Amino acid sequence: MNGESMVGFGYKQAWLAIRDGRPEAVTDALGLRDLGPVSWRDGIDLAYLTDDRVVLTPPLPGAGNSRWLLVTGRWLFGRGLLDPGAAVDVTELSATLGTEVQFFATYRVGEAHRWERAVDGRLVRAFGYVGESGEVVQWRGEPDAAETAMGIAHEPDAGTETDILVSEDDVMRLAGMWSVDPSGLGAQPSSGPLRAAAAP
């Protein structure tokens, strides 16, 4: 596993980004059971192909001159991609860890996309969108400059058609502006292996 390259992910996947996250603290806070180190290729395959395993990256440089620990796996989809009661409550996790926590999910089949951001135990933004129906299904907080640049400037009026269009590439761009774009990690040298963990 030494000297291996990272493997990108993000499309048709869900992940958390945790500012200055420590693997042990994140594993404990999520109630995960550590399964040890795993290569990037095997770990990303595990995250995509199982419903009860996740992988944690080493801390990665990203937005805000911070280091971001990413956690990815299908388990993070929870009860459904657009269910506000997903597997992880970012507000609670942010309060427990005392840092910023972000959640991203995208699934191109129905063009369903979601993101949430909590800082110091306070939810500052949550957005959910289903492209096949053109419906905004979750809206909490105000869009920041990154979202406004994507064309998400204001909450659509209830019961009206929206002109908001979001693609999975927008989710990756936003992740890069807020923390780390995981789709761009491929072929870069890794600073260490992933850690696999079993979901509760």
Question: 50-59, pLDDT tens digit by residue?
Answer: 999 999 999 9
Give the whole-angstrom CA distance, residue 90 versus residue 18: 10
Contact 23, 193 (CB under 8 A): no
Mean pLDDT across the chain, nearest whole number?
Answer: 89
pLDDT score recorded for residue 97: 98
Assigned domain for 156 exists: yes
Assigned domain for 25 exists: yes
Q: What is the domain count for the chain?
A: 1
Q: Which residues on adjacent β-strands are paired with residue 61?
A: 67
Token look-up 């923390």 returns 179
Say how many CA atoms lie within 13 Å of 22 toward its Cβ: 6
Q: Is the pLDDT of residue 158 over 70?
A: no
Assigned domain for 5 exists: no
Assigned domain for 91 exists: yes
| Of 77, 83, 98, nearest in space to 16 by CA | 77
pLDDT score recorded for residue 50: 95
Assigned domain for 155 exists: yes
Assigned domain for 2 exists: no
Contact 111, 130 (CB under 8 A): yes
**Better-scored residue on pLDDT, 173 or 3:** 173
| pTM, two decimal places | 0.92
Q: Is the pLDDT of residue 47 over 80?
A: yes
Domain that holds residue 172: 13-181+193-198
pLDDT score recorded for residue 161: 56
Q: Is the pLDDT of residue 160 over 60?
A: no
pLDDT score recorded for residue 2: 61
Assigned domain for 24 exists: yes
Q: How confident is the model at residue 1 (pLDDT cuts 50, 70, 90)?
A: low
Q: How confident is the model at residue 112 (pLDDT cuts 50, 70, 90)?
A: confident
Assigned domain for 8 exists: no
